[in-house]
Amino acid sequence: MSTDIDTGSATGVDAPPGAAAVVVDQLSAGYPGVQALDEVSITVGTGSICALLGANGSGKSTLFKALLGLHRPTAGTVRLFGMEPTKARRRNQVSYVPQHEQVDTSFPISVEQVVMMGRYGHMGFTRRTRPADRQACDQALDQVGLSQLRRRGIGELSGGQRKRAFLARAIAQQAPLMLLDEPFAGVDRGSEELISSVLKTLRDTTGTTVLISTHHLAGVEDLADEVVLLHQRVLAAGLPGEVLTEEQLGRSFGAVLRETN
C-alpha cells in the first residue's frame, strides 16, 4: 500500500495514470429469474460526481454490489481505477455506504466507533489508532454535523442521523472513490443540503470521485457533474442538462417522479 493512502488524501489513487475511476463494460447481472442489469456500460471520470437515477427495481443497488465485487455478474467487466473490484477494495481505493445498513441495536457501539471502522484499512492488524485516524474521524463527524452525538449508541440515533453516521464512516476512510447508495433517503432537506455540500467539497479539495444513487431529482443538477439514467439498461448518460429532460425522465420514471418533484 502506498504512503499516499496513509496520508488520508484521496489523491492516493493506486492506479495507472489517467485511468477512469469507474469503467463498467457490457455488464449483465441478476438473480434467479430476474435480469437486473442488461449490458450496462458506464464510465465515471476521476474527480467527478456522478448521479445514478432510476426507478425502484431499476438495478441501482445491484450495480453498486457488482462494482464492489459483492455480486457476481453474468457477463461484462468492472474496473475501478483500472483494477478489479476486489483489488481496489483491498487497496482502500473505494468506500461504500449501502442503501440499508444492518444495525444490531442491542450491540453497544458508539457513533464514533462506527466512524473509526472507516479507518481499519489504514491500520495494521493490531488496529491501533494513530492521531491521523482520530483526526479523520473528528473531521468526518464534524462534516456530517454529528460531533455532539459521537458518544451515543448507533442504535440510539434517528434514521436520518444514522445515515449521516455511516456517511461519516465512508468519509473517514478517505478512499479516492465513494459509492453511496441512496444517501438522501430518509434524511430531511437540511441534511440533504449538508451532505451535497460535503461531497462537493471532497471532490474539489481532494479529487474524490463520487457515484451516488438517488431518487431526488431536485438538487441533482446542482450536485452532479454527470448523470446516468438506469432502467436495467443505460437509458441516457451525460451532462445533467442533457440527460435531465422531461422526455428522458418520462422514459425512466414514468409519471411517478414528475408528480412528486
Ligand X SMILES: Nc1ncnc2c1ncn2[C@@H]1O[C@H](COP(=O)(O)OP(=O)(O)OP(=O)(O)O)[C@@H](O)[C@H]1O
Which of 54, 73, 176, 183: binder of ligand X (CB under 6 A)?
54
Which of 61, 161, 191, 209: binder of ligand X (CB under 6 A)?
61
Stretch that binds ligand X, among 31-39, 79-87, 165-173, 192-200 (CB under 6 A): 31-39
Stretch that binds ligand X, among 4-12, 30-38, 40-48, 220-228 (CB under 6 A): 30-38
Which of 1, 2, 26, 34: binder of ligand X (CB under 6 A)?
34
> Out of Mg ion, ligand X, none, which partner does residue 56 contact, by CB within 5 to 8 A per kind?
ligand X
Inter-axis angle of helices 131-143 and 159-173, nearest 10: 140
Q: Is residue 57 close enough to count as binding ligand X by CB under 6 A?
A: yes
Cα pseudo-dihedral 118, 122, 126, 127, rounded to 10: -30
Q: Which is nearer to ligand X, 177 or 230 (CB)?
A: 230
Q: Is residue 56 close enough to count as binding ligand X by CB under 6 A?
A: yes
SS3 of the chain: helix, strand, coil, percent, to 5: 40, 25, 35
Shortest Å, Cβ 34 to ligand X: 5
Q: Is residue 36 close enough to count as binding ligand X by CB under 6 A?
A: yes
Q: In what side-by-side order are the strands of the sheet with 22-31? A: 34-44, 22-31, 75-80
> Out of Mg ion, ligand X, none, which partner does residue 71 contact, by CB within 5 to 8 A per kind?
none
DSSP string, 109-128: -BHHHHHHHTTGGGS-TT--
Check residue 59 and report its DSSP letter.
S
CB 53 within 8 A of CB 217: yes
Per-residue contact flags (x/-) with ligand X for residues 220 to 249, judged by CB under 6 A: ------------------------------
Q: For residues 106 and 156, what is the distance between their CA atoms, to the nearest angstrom?
A: 10
Q: Which is nearer to ligand X, 31 or 125 (CB)?
A: 31
CA-only gyration radius of the chain, Å: 18
CB 54 within 8 A of CB 229: yes
Q: Is residue 218 close enough to count as binding ligand X by CB under 6 A?
A: no
Shortest Å, Cβ 12 to Mg ion: 29
Position 155, amino acid: G
Give every CB contact of residue 54 below 8 A, 6+ residues apart in sequence: 60, 213, 229, 230, 231, 252, 253
Position 115, amino acid: V
- Site residues, Mg ion (CB under 5 A): 60-61, 99
> Out of ligand X, Mg ion, none, which partner does residue 214 contact, by CB within 5 to 8 A per kind?
none
CB 256 within 8 A of CB 55: yes
Shortest Å, Cβ 259 to ligand X: 17
Measured in Å, how far apart are the chain's first and last C-alpha atoms? Answer: 45
Q: Which is nearer to ligand X, 36 or 141 (CB)?
A: 36
Shortest Å, Cβ 61 to Mg ion: 3
Q: Is residue 71 close enough to count as binding ligand X by CB under 6 A?
A: no
- Interacting residue ranges for ligand X, rule: CB under 6 A: 31, 34, 36, 54, 56-62, 99
